[in-house]
Structure 1
Amino acid sequence: MTTFLIKWTVKEHETGLLREFLRTHKKISKSALVDIKFAGGELLVNGELSTVRKAVLPGDEISVRFPPEEISSSMTPLPMKLDIIFEDNHLLIVNKPAGMPTIPSRYQTNGSLAQGVLFYYEENEIQSTFHAINRLDKDTSGLVMIAKHRFAHSLFSMQQRSKEIKRTYLAGLRGKFNEEKGTVSAHIARNPESMIERMVSDHGQVAVTHFQVLKELGDNSLVALQLETGRTHQIRVHMSHIGHPLLGDDLYGGPVDLIGRQALHSWKVSFYHPFEEKEMQLNAPLPEDLNRLFGQVEA
């Protein structure tokens, strides 16, 4: 099985104890360093095993081998075809089809993206469990970012919290808009009368959605959306709130005659790749059902 090995060369401003190099400059957590020490990992300086107390100098090569990860016993790997948009040693980005949950639930224990990824890991001898950086509702299609080891998950999760990962969604909405673009700012809370449904409420959490109309087709619109916040059902609740529910979204008042699921697709993602040290942008083309309604859309 493959364990993850990462190498860095110490720069002028990064000299000092190995502990500070790893904690301050490379953002490895204290708990991760403990795991490396006691759970089968290695720290090497210029190829020699070292402790975190070793002093490092400019030009030194630092290698960190992370311990193998335990596969979650609660998920059975399942063979499935994955639409992989991007993959390297640290990150896997998959175009999830509609109808597939990201992780198993009490309502659907099999057929999740997580189980397909675990099978893919088994087939390719990747010793890791499923680390989702973002999740999509079962009936939402599009890009899901998956970290291939705990350290990558930690770094991308920090970007997620600081809103450095930017996602653009495409939604098929009922009706025509009076303005080409705008912002919906309305608090979202649980609907006390439902286990699933959310609602706009002054007592809810802050939620902000930006929208831009891309196409109109008859009485419907194809709209690009970006979120400042990540509340459950945020797009569905906000669009219904302004009178433009998603096509196929009967939970929030959308018509169901044109498409058999909520017309929502995670279209683009942009982020800084901390291991490649570069900005990246990727996109997943419209799936067949949305393409039939609105035609091709330029990325």
Structure 2
Amino acid sequence: MKKKPTKKPNRPRHEEWTVKEHTEVLEFLFKVMPSKSRNAVKGILKRGQVVVNDKPTTQFDDKLKPGDFVQIRERVASASVKLKGVTILHEDDDVIVVDKESGLLSMGSKQERQMTAYKQLMDYVQSIHPKNRIFIVHRLDRDTSGVMIFARSKIVQQKLQKAWTEAVQERSYVALVEGVVSKGGTITSWLTEDRTFMMHSSPKPNHGQKAITHYKVMKSNRRFSLLKVNLDTGRKNQIRVHMQDLGHPIVGDKKYGSEVNTINRLGLHANAIKFKHPSSGKMMRFESETPASFTRGFK
């Protein structure tokens, strides 16, 4: 089984082999790629990167015979898939980490089924291979921008969600709020949702889902304060409700008490997330730059 690397200008680099004996696809791949882990090899096959006699395959038990030609092709998304409002920060066999813009839904609703981060990323991975899928791990509100994690399989999604508290070491936001916040602190309350999908905060223990928000003052002037916010819990609209509780609603958040919108969007940005990778166990951190409109008024 002689390995014959080839290079062609302006095209993906392929690894190629000619089969010398009767075998099956996965067994053959294990032999010709001994430096890769078994899971990595399975991932290459699952993504449709394996091509036998110019035909892609994802079947581990497909038969190979002497003379068959096997290629490993680099992942290439279709040029027709244009991501709008979402930028990929990191991608591997288990997760895709993205930076979502304000105004884009995380995933579909009855009103919006097409232009969502989820739908666009699904189109992206399926342009690489039609059997590829993604799964949402957590959400950001439509008008909240910043870093999000998607899983490449149901198993990884469930693993991250079930161990979310242990896996996620940092989940920080930047919030532009109304008024002068003199010092940082922690807000703890219990949140419930009414029939109009409004979240309500209660100081009564066990009256809803417990929510804990920590905040620090980064900048402040006579009209606004820029806060660094960290979450112990990830409840729906948690920061928005807690800023209203604080008496300093997020700029542009009319739903939760804001009276001004000087930046023409919601003043909330998920700027960083640090988590333990579900397979390697390695700590990974991704950051998104704070929107310029948040800091313009402090110069």
Once the two structures are TM-superposed, the CA of residue 271 in structure 1 deviates from its matched residue by: 1.0
Counterpart CA distance in 1 for 2:190 and 2:285 is 30
Picking from 94, 97, 114, the partner of 2:98 is 94
Report the AA paired with residue 274 of structure 1: P
Max Rg structure: 2
TM-score, normalised by the number of residues in structure 1: 0.69
Picking from 119, 134, 138, the partner of 1:134 is 138
Once the two structures are TM-superposed, the CA of residue 281 in structure 1 deviates from its matched residue by: 1.3
Q: Match of 1:264?
A: 268
Does the 8 A contact of 1:132 with 1:145 survive in 2? Answer: yes
Q: Match of 1:249?
A: 253
Change over 3 Å in CA distance of 1:47–1:68 after alignment to 2: closer
Q: Match of 2:157?
A: 153
Once the two structures are TM-superposed, the CA of residue 125 in structure 1 deviates from its matched residue by: 2.7
Counterpart CA distance in 1 for 2:89 and 2:228 is 20
Does the 8 A contact of 1:174 with 1:247 survive in 2? Answer: yes
Change over 3 Å in CA distance of 1:126–1:288 after alignment to 2: farther
Change over 3 Å in CA distance of 1:126–1:162 after alignment to 2: farther
Once the two structures are TM-superposed, the CA of residue 78 in structure 1 deviates from its matched residue by: 6.8
Per-residue CA distance 1:31-78 (angstroms, 9 max, x = gap):
xxxxxxxxxxx997x959xxxxxxxxxxxx755847969xxxxxxx97
Percent same amino acid among aligned pairs?
A: 29
1:290 aligns with 2:291: no
Q: CA RMSD in A?
A: 2.8
Does the 8 A contact of 2:226 with 2:294 survive in 1? Answer: no
Change over 3 Å in CA distance of 1:86–1:226 after alignment to 2: same
Q: Match of 1:11?
A: none
1:198 aligns with 2:202: no
Once the two structures are TM-superposed, the CA of residue 124 in structure 1 deviates from its matched residue by: 2.6
Number of aligned positions between the proteins:
232
Per-residue CA distance 1:202-229 (angstroms, 9 max, x = gap):
3222111111111113321110111111
- Note the residue ranges of structure 1 that are not aligned, 5 or more in a row: 1-41, 49-60, 70-76
Counterpart CA distance in 1 for 2:26 and 2:46 is 14
Per-residue CA distance 1:14-36 (angstroms, 9 max, x = gap):
xxxxxxxxxxxxxxxxxxxxxxx
SS in 2 for 1:119: helix
Q: Match of 2:241?
A: 237
Counterpart CA distance in 2 for 1:43 and 1:204 is 50
Change over 3 Å in CA distance of 1:125–1:165 after alignment to 2: farther
Does the 8 A contact of 1:85 with 1:284 survive in 2? Answer: no
1:187 aligns with 2:209: no
